[in-house]
Amino acid sequence: MYGAILNVKFTVVVHSAPYSTQAAASAYRFTKALLEQGHDVYRLFFFGDGVHNTSKLTVVAQDDTNWQQQWDKLIELQKLDSVVCVTSAIKRGIIDEAESARHELGAVSLSSSSEISGLGQLIDATINSDRVINFG
């Protein structure tokens, strides 16, 4: 804790997939840093290719960072509100129990720390956050 002078409520929006560009990793590091400095995260919102950060079906080489797992741990540990855009998610194979049942897909790929919802959650976040920061 750095004893922040002012507590600011952030929403972090992630537009990019991990591994392809630095953006999602920067979003992760930014989120971690602002929590360490005593700020609040109102919501994480994964949009477009950003939804790939919430897959639990990933395996990486031992000397590589599993970004999906890093996000999952951070969200669990800090009890963050993490929302994945439904239209972006289901066409990219990011599927929760409900979507899996509805479309008879027989598999679930979304990390249990995040939930699937609509763009309304992004607009709600812009209304209720002091700052909305976009990555990617």
- Nearest approach, Cβ of 17 to other proteins (angstroms)? 12
- Letters for 1-40 (x = contact with other proteins by CB under 8 A, - = none) are ------------x-x-------------------------
The answer to whether residue 93 forms part of the interface with other proteins (CB under 8 A) is no
Which residue, among 18, 77, 4, has the nearest Cα to 46 in the 3D structure? 18
Could you tell me how many residues make up the chain? Answer: 136
* Token pair in block for residue 67: 């970004």
Q: Which of 21, 25, 39, 48 binds other proteins (CB under 8 A)?
A: 48
Tell me the one-letter amino acid at 103: H
How far is Cα of residue 67 from the mean position of the Cα atoms in its chain? Answer: 11
CB-wise, 18 or 136, nearer to other proteins?
Answer: 136
* Token pair in block for residue 34: 């602002």
Q: Is 85 a catalytic residue?
A: yes
The answer to whether residue 45 forms part of the interface with other proteins (CB under 8 A) is no
Inter-axis angle of helices 67-78 and 23-36, nearest 10? 20
Instruction: Please tell me which residue in 24, 74, 75, 85 is annotated as part of the active site.
Output: 85
Check if the beta carbon of residue 13 is closer than 8 Å to that of residue 28: no
CB-wise, 10 or 28, nearer to other proteins?
Answer: 10
The answer to whether residue 134 forms part of the interface with other proteins (CB under 8 A) is yes
Give the torsion through C-alpha atoms of 59, 100, 103, 85, to 10 deg.
-80
Active site amino acids: 85
Binding site for other proteins (CB under 8 A): 13, 15, 47-48, 87, 118-120, 122-124, 126-127, 130, 132, 134
